[in-house]
Amino acid sequence: MNGSETAEFRRALEDFALASGHLVAIELDATGRIQDYNKGFSLAVSAAGEPRGQSLAAFFPPRKGNPQEIVPGLPGGLAVPYRLVSWDGRELLLHAYRLADEHVLLLGMPLNPDESLAMQRMAGLTTEMGNLVRELRRANRRILDLARTDALTGLPNRRYFFERLGEALEQARQLRRPLSVLMIDLDHFKEVNDRFGHAGGDAVLTAFAELLRGGARASDFPGRLGGEELALLLPDTDAGQGQRVAERLRADTARLRPLGEAAVFTVSIGVATLRAEETGDAFLARADAALYAAKTAGRDRVVVAGAVSSTPAEGSERRRPKHRLLQ
């Protein structure tokens, strides 16, 4: 290095040399012990254990003609070249550069890289590529999860719900198993936002989403379709089972208190069970019609598509609290 090079340039060169796997870089302290090194050095000498703190002779023995002392630079700033032979006979051409605090940087490359060294380097590159691929896959999975998830509730969003609905329809037909769906609407949700603000509405949605998720089986699939409308897909579930799931969800919802004891809210639920040869749109339309019937009949109730009665569950009116925020 000559005197015109800046400290920033020197530091950049040192950083590159230490990070490179193609060059061999060794930093020696004032006593000739290894202070730092790069991957190229480890590969070139097949270093076992931690080289830091060891003398250079631990890797380049004197009996092979290696110099007893490394002189860091000639007058005028020219680097001093050295041919060093490792314990296993590998020859390296290294140039000695003077660093601060009487440290020395040895920088160079192997003169006779053999097949094993090349294989080691390839193995190192393969490992690095494998790590990069794994990181990329994790990043892609994270991006996919974000694209499928409703940001507020953490439930699957509308697009992902409809993707899974298509898969569930195909599986139900192939296996000839029942499939039901609950269409769910939080009653009078606008009143929550008007009284408690959007933060209160978010708290209600989040609490209900957690209830919906917590009560679902591993095979069930909940989703937020938009606003205060949610859905729950129930594989291997007939109409009677679907109605019982809906009634349990309706009762559990009335016990939630995300905004305090005086603030009680309810849900209306429509239930539909897949018919033979029915399309997904028709399936959801029947569930949505049942939901509309539940809200028209007074809310806080479950209506099963095709059922004769749309009255609330027995005793539901008697259980209604006196200080109900939502009807």
264: phi then psi, degrees, rounded to nearest 5: -115, 135
SS3 per residue for 101-112: HHCEEEEEEECC
Q: Is 14 a catalytic residue?
A: no
179-201 core/surface letters (b: 16 or more CB in 10 A; e: else): bbbbbbbbbbbeebeeebeeebb
Distance between CA atoms of residues 14 and 12, nearest Å: 5
Long-range contacts of 256-261 (CB under 8 A, 24+ apart): 256/204, 256/207, 256/208, 256/211, 258/203, 258/204, 258/206, 258/207, 259/192, 259/196, 259/200, 259/203, 259/204, 259/325
Check: CB of residue 109 under 8 Å from CB of residue 33: no
Distance between CA atoms of residues 120 and 202, nearest Å: 56
Which residue of the set 191, 228, 277, 314 is catalytic? Answer: 228
Please give the positions annotated as active site. 228
